[in-house]
Amino acid sequence: VGGAHNKTIASLHMDSWRTEMIAEINRINQVLPNTPADEKTESIKRWVDSVIDGMDHYKAEHHRYVKEAVTLLELALWKAKLAEKDENFAEGRTKKVKVDAESVRKEKRVTCGADTVI
């Protein structure tokens, strides 16, 4: 595995993914010497397809993990923003202030209270 392939493999999220893809890439060195000459082209095509399918699978998994992490981050930021607003409306205030706090909280549920959306 060399050059650009090293970067691609190194970019995989998990060690097990990297290990599996390195093994798949190196597999051709085990298969090709024992493959009859008239079957080598087809064997190489299947191997290339297998490597590409593996990378596509791991890219999709990586995307799923990133999306999940972004969702968790957004929820944490939303919760922190709500807590910040709730602190501004501390107990002991008048009923109107409590109603205002509830309406602000309702609005923040919709707008998330964020100035920036990730």
Three-state DSSP state, 23: helix
Looking at residue 93, its pLDDT comes to 55
* Residue 92, helix vs strand vs coil: coil
Put simply, whether the predicted model's pTM sits higher than 0.85 gets the answer no
Residue 16, amino acid: S
Do the beta carbons of residue 113 and residue 78 sit within 8 Å? yes
Of 22-26, 52-56, 82-86, the least confident: 82-86
Q: Report the C-alpha dihedral over residues 85, 91, 93, 95, rounded to 10 degrees.
A: 90
Predicted confidence band at 78 (pLDDT cuts at 50, 70, 90)? confident
